[in-house]
Amino acid sequence: MTLIGLHVTQYMYVLFDNVHICIQKCKCTKTDLSKLQIPKCQVNISLHKHFNSTTQMTAQSSKTVLTLDSEAVFSLKDGINFKKSPDDGKCYIIYKENGELKACKNQCKHQGGLFIKDIEDLDGRTVQCTKHYWKLNVSTMQYVNPPDSFTQDELDVVMTDEGGLQLVEVIVWDPWLADPQDPQELQEGEVTVTYLTHACMELQLGGKKMIFDPWLTGPAFARGWWLLHEPPADSMERLCMADLIYISHMHSDHLSYPTLKSLSATRPDVPIYVGDTSRPVFWMLEKRQVQLTNINVVPFGIWQNIDEHLRFMILKDEVHPELDTCIIVEYKGHMILNTVDCTRPNYGRLPHNVDLMMSDFAGGASGFPMTFSGGKYTESWKADFIKNERKKLMNYKTQLVKSLQPKIYCPFAGYFVEAHPSDRYIKETNTKNKAEELNALIKKSAPGITTWTPKPGAVLDLALALMSPSRKAITDPPSGTNIYKDSWDFDLYVDELNRAITAEIFKHKSWIQFYYIWAGFKNYNLVVRVIETDEDFIPIANGYNYLVDFMDLSFPTQRPTREHPYEEIKNRIGVMRHVVKNGLLWDDLYIGFQNRLSREPDVYHHRFWNHFQTELPVTGPDWDLFLQQVPSYQRSAEPQGIQTESVSASTFLEKADCTVSREPSFVPVSINE
């Protein structure tokens, strides 16, 4: 195998016969891999999955992102140095200690914020992000707030013969450039994009119909999110007629099991495509009892050919590779880019000048800071923080779209509402960006880009849009069409959640120990108190109220005497018990606004939350085994806090005869129970 035309000064990466090879400090313009001197070239090899019989080859090169002359190098002070490239305005950090230099981009790995000096750091090693106040120790390239989270990617520091330096970045090869297709002329009506609701789009691509992320019915994140837009009346019929479906990730506003359950009753064999994320997208399929028989898990960065003219490629997110993906769809050489919820898709490298780009825009997809209390979390602080965050997101999306220069841009995947009456506070506090305002910013910043604010049932004709922006390329729904939902079937879904309240397992307090041992998180200095509450987050008398010490996974009656971080989590009882009973991720609680939190000190514990939001075992707790192990005398014991009859959402407290107390009784857990 010979590589031609690559001039690599620092690194070259090759995927050859499914072996990923990194060649360091090897200059080559024409290299025969069979003749490489492995010890001299320092080759690191790691095996990749064998996806198909076709040999895939990708390459990564490097580029110099910042150059300093000898005088600038001499002026570098010990500690942190902020530098800005005069060529493109991008920012970098250089850290100097004992004559040694380290460097990285001045960009937070969380959500791309800019770092500034951390005024609380007396050692001169830490910088703080201006977006969410994450902290990076530049001397180790480890994030220290939140602790045990990310590692910052380093740039290669290369000293020149003249005493200057170059910061060199490894450039990920753009996989969509494999087998490039020249754009062909499109006919009117040949490629249309119809907005259905939230992140759900229907693409007509010649003779094929493709649908993105169908959430058409029911809530998401337990009972916290509800559809803002009323899907067209024939949306479910459209879904059942699709030739293929792409589901970007496992969050329930994209992977909607109520929607897929309806689909499976008619088209269980419809082809569904997902990326090969470390946590399988459909890990809950069997538990949900949804019969889908044609789910295809595809590798990242490889074209999937559907027919002569249509293909697609799924890319992963750098920040959340276990979770998020995005997609490029190409028809007759015309590209549609959908970045969905990705924070940094494909290491920040995306195709330029695509015909249509879609992305999220709204913000508000987190419990922070609305569900937090104590310390700085006053209502005025929350309001200011949310306002600033939404503004930052708008500016970031504007700059991203401007840099990628798509011909058409459409903001979507942000049309949800906290509609349940019990979440009125969240709805009023969690203000979101408006698509119209983002599109106005984009038009001001990049006038040549056509923007589209979608309405349910609106259709974009790509051929007409590309012919002339002034032509009528978008067909809006008929006058009088109901755009916004004005009713939701609350009781149907909330009652289903609350059925878990009276499950047999919760009659025995040893479920707590059994559950957290199953969860598998320990050896971490954090103590958490979990409290069951009513709809208004008032603790329920005789409801469970317990401590978990994750240092040794014990369940003490009092907080330990050692120094330790502490969090208090109040959960709505129905949702918490539903999550526990079914072994679900805690996204339903946190992203779904179903808990209230306080912590001391005010530090985000990434390892803890990442585990319970993404890394719980894919096989749920064996509650049948648990009940078999419960001593027989406990089976006849009085239930803890509730009665055993079935209850609905609206009458739970009345039927369960639970009194409400602001000082809940504590339920200690005995290891030997």
Q: What is the pLDDT of residues 156-181, one digit of tens each?
A: 999 999 999 999 998 877 999 999 99
38 pLDDT exceeds 50? no
Residue ranges with strand state E in 98-178: 100-105, 115-117, 126-129, 135-137, 142-145, 154-159, 165-171
Question: What pLDDT does residue 59 have?
Answer: 53
Contact 541, 578 (CB under 8 A): no
Distance CA 331, CA 206 (A): 8
Question: What pLDDT does residue 318 have?
Answer: 87
**665 Cβ contact partners less than 8 Å away, ≥ 6 residues apart:** 541, 542, 545
Question: What pLDDT does residue 14 have?
Answer: 40
Distance CA 105, CA 152 (A): 9
What's the alpha-carbon Rg for the chain, to the nearest Å? 27
**273 Cβ contact partners less than 8 Å away, ≥ 6 residues apart:** 244, 245, 246, 247, 296, 298, 304, 312, 314
**CA proximity to 623, closest of 531, 511, 461:** 511
Show the tokens assigned to 411.
Answer: 């903001």
- Report residue 222's pLDDT band, with 50, 70 and 90 as the boundaries: very high
Question: What pLDDT does residue 120 have?
Answer: 85
The model's pLDDT over 243-273, given as tens digits with 9 standing for 90+, comes to: 999 999 999 999 999 999 999 999 999 999 9
432 pLDDT exceeds 60? yes
Helix (H) or strand (E) run with residue 531 in it = strand 527-533
Partners of residue 451 on adjacent β-strands: 409
Question: What pLDDT does residue 348 have?
Answer: 87
443 pLDDT exceeds 70? yes
Distance CA 413, CA 426 (A): 19
Show the tokens assigned to 587.
Answer: 């996204």
Residue 32, CA distances (Å) to 5, 58, 132, 361, 650 in order: 13, 15, 48, 47, 72
- Residue 568's SS3 state is strand
Name the average pLDDT for the chain: 86
Distance of CA 467 to the CA centre of its chain: 36
Distance CA 535, CA 498 (A): 11
65 pLDDT exceeds 80? yes
Phi first, then psi, for residue 426 (nearest 5°) are -65, -45
414-422: average pLDDT: 98
Burial zone of 450 (CB within 10 Å; 0-12 exposed, 13-18 middle, 19+ buried): buried
The model's pLDDT over 478-528, given as tens digits with 9 standing for 90+, comes to: 998 999 999 999 999 999 999 999 999 999 999 999 999 999 999 999 999
670 pLDDT exceeds 60? no
478 prior amide bond cis, ω within 30: no
Partners of residue 202 on adjacent β-strands: 194, 211
Phi first, then psi, for residue 448 (nearest 5°) are -80, -5
**CA proximity to 518, closest of 567, 593, 569, 579:** 579
Would you list the DSSP string of 571-587?
A: EEHHHHHHHHHHT--TH
Sheet order of strands, 356-359 included: 304-305, 310-316, 325-331, 334-338, 356-359, 408-411, 450-451
Helix (H) or strand (E) run with residue 70 in it = helix 70-74
Instruction: Report the predicted TM-score, pTM, of the whole model to 2 decimal places.
Output: 0.82
State the DSSP code for 50: -
Residue type, 568: E
Residue ranges with strand state E in 281-438: 295-298, 304-305, 310-316, 325-331, 334-338, 356-359, 408-411, 416-417
Distance CA 464, CA 228 (A): 29
Question: What pLDDT does residue 634 have?
Answer: 54
